Amino acid sequence: MNVLGEKWHMFAITGTTGNVGGEVARNLLGASQQVRAVVRDLQKGESWAQRGCDLVGANINDATALASAFKGAEGVFVLVPPNFDPSPDFREARATAATLRAALDAACPGRVLYLSTIGAQTTQSNLLTQHTIIERELGWLSMPITFLRPGWFMDNCIWDVTPATRNGVIPSFLKPLDKPVPMVATADVGRVAAELLQETWTGHRVVELEGPHRVTPNEIAATFTELLGKPVRMEVVPEETWESLFLSQGMKNPTPRIQMLVGFNEGWIEFESGEAGSRKGKVALETVVQTLIEREKKS
Ligand SMILES: NC(=O)c1ccc[n+]([C@@H]2O[C@H](COP(=O)([O-])OP(=O)(O)OC[C@H]3O[C@@H](n4cnc5c(N)ncnc54)[C@H](OP(=O)(O)O)[C@@H]3O)[C@@H](O)[C@H]2O)c1
């Protein structure tokens, strides 16, 4: 029940057409929950309407549309689209944070799950500071909020499929190549997010999530070797070339992305509660890479 005594009747999910949001929606539908898919492009979201979702259009920068999409929700899953090239003062994240706070404040849903990231507590500036800013702003809200902080997505291996298949060498920004990195499958992130959203809790809580075990870049190469049936190895991209490489790819401000990669490599991007305190997912790297290889074959 909300403060007016009206019955909650559904879960509103942003980013439904993406990796994690899609998994959240699938898991909630599988649990016989009513789902409102909040999409920026109604045509792109049509398949979710066919699966039984209520389809609502809202851009992440539109507080009025978001408030109306979140109204009456028992739980809201909030996903902010990735921005690899933010302004030096992170003004985009600050604007999104203010928009989300206003929308949630106006809609007053029963509870909120915000998809954050490993390292959101870190005080050193880097790409993930965007989530630090948004977590802090949502922290002013009075409703129950879970900040779900997953590790590096295993699904980022999508970028490795073509180099692994074509020439057997995957460029790696993560180093050293035998350093275990906290990674997790988006299938686990979405499943856990859906489970958490169906719980009741009070106040604000942080849940940190990684896969069954930490993954080294060399393990990624070994997984491709096994699945492709041909030798695949990692090759470190020299750090002194990162800035010019990212600029040549069209980035305007590569510094936050470089700082994030350094943070993973130096280990200061880590869970607040360390490996011992994080929740563990079930999906193995091999399952994710197999799916990605099949997806690339079809595309
Ligand atoms: N990659 C990692 O290793 C990692 C690790 C931890 C946390 N994260 C966080 O996870 C999030 C990304 O999750 P993901 O991989 O599921 O993303 P994704 O697959 O790229 O999906 C992004 C979703 O956001 C939607 N979207 C894009 N722009 C929008 C806008 N202006 N208004 C409303 N919706 C918009 C997209 O809709 P369309 O389909 O219409 O484009 C899509 O549904 C980011 O917040 C990222 O920081 C990532």
And the tokens for 2?
A: 């909300």
pTM metric for this prediction: 0.97
Which of 13, 20, 292, when mutated, tests ligand 1's pocket best, judged by the most ligand atoms within 8 Å of its CB?
A: 20
Span from the CA of 86 to the centroid of ligand 1 (angstroms): 15
One digit per residue, pLDDT tens: the chain, 299 residues? 665 566 667 999 999 999 999 999 999 999 999 999 999 999 999 999 999 999 999 999 999 999 999 999 999 999 999 999 999 999 999 999 999 999 999 999 999 999 999 999 999 999 999 999 999 999 999 999 999 999 999 999 999 999 999 999 999 999 999 999 999 999 999 999 999 999 999 999 999 999 999 999 999 999 999 999 999 999 999 999 999 999 999 999 999 999 999 999 999 999 999 999 999 999 999 999 999 999 998 98
Query: Is 153's C-beta closer than 6 angstroms to any atom of ligand 1?
Result: yes
pLDDT at 4: 59
Residue type (1 letter), 243: E
Residue nearest ligand 1's atom 26 by CA: 81
DSSP helix/strand/coil, 77: strand
pLDDT at 2: 61
Closest CA to 256 of 124, 164, 138, 157: 124
pLDDT at 9: 76
> CA quadruple 258, 263, 269, 275: dihedral positive or negative?
positive
CA dist 25 and 103 (Å) reads 21
Span from the CA of 79 to the centroid of ligand 1 (angstroms): 6
Backbone φ and ψ of 258, nearest 5°: -65, -45
pLDDT at 72: 95
Closest CA to 113 of 227, 202, 197: 197
Query: Is 42's C-beta closer than 6 angstroms to any atom of ligand 1?
Result: no
Q: What is the dihedral of CA 160, 228, 292, 233, to 10 degrees?
A: -20
Q: Residue 77, Cα to own-chain centre: how many angstroms?
A: 11
CA dist 93 and 133 (Å) reads 7
Span from the CA of 7 to the centroid of ligand 1 (angstroms): 30
Query: Is 288's C-beta closer than 6 angstroms to any atom of ligand 1?
Result: no
Cis, bond preceding 163 (omega within 30 deg of 0): no
